[in-house]
Amino acid sequence: MGEGTAKARRREVELTRQALAEDVERFARRVRAELDWKARLRRDGPQIVAIAGVVAVVLVAGLALRHRLRSGDGDDDLLEGATVDDVARELRALREDLEKRFAASSGGGILQKVAVAAAGSAATAGGRVAAGRLLDKVEAERRDTPVGSAS
């Protein structure tokens, strides 16, 4: 009876060893697949390019806005001939476009969602600055125009 138990125990140990070997092999294949940067780049390349593009646009827009604010120019070529309604219309269109892109990226990764949200925040901040500068310009023109003169 002891010999039958020993055989059963050895068989059980052998089956466990085989199962563990299969698990280790499966795990090793997964690790190799995750560490294969070429395959990962082929798989995630378009998403990485899109995120990098959005980040680059936001950075360039931020730097341009920063330069505009620090330059202290009284003349704003971008706002020349614009009205508050024009700026509001452009901001509305930009926000709708970003919301569409955000809705389209709902299946994307977290980095893509963060990039789209950052672009929306940057666009809103830039629009507020542009609208404020336009209102300052309109107010300055009103102060410079004599009260009795007709436009």
Question: How far is the C-alpha of 95 from the C-alpha of 141, rounded, in Å?
Answer: 30
pLDDT for 151: 46
Radius of gyration for the chain, computed over Cα atoms and rounded to the nearest angstrom: 31
Give the residue with greater pLDDT, 10 vs 85: 10
Whole-Å CA distances, 37 to 32, 43, 45, 85: 10, 10, 11, 50
Q: What is the pTM of this model?
A: 0.33
Could you report the per-residue pLDDT of 28-72, keeping only the tens digit for each? 999 988 888 888 888 888 888 888 888 888 888 888 888 778 776
Mean pLDDT, range 88-109, rounded to an integer: 69
All structural domains of the chain with their residue ranges: 1-35, 44-144
Residue 74 pLDDT more than 80? no
pLDDT for 103: 65
Question: How far is the C-alpha of 91 from the C-alpha of 19, rounded, in Å?
Answer: 61
Mean pLDDT, range 129-144, rounded to an integer: 78
Question: How far is the C-alpha of 27 from the C-alpha of 59, rounded, in Å?
Answer: 40
pLDDT for 33: 84
Residue 76 pLDDT more than 60? no
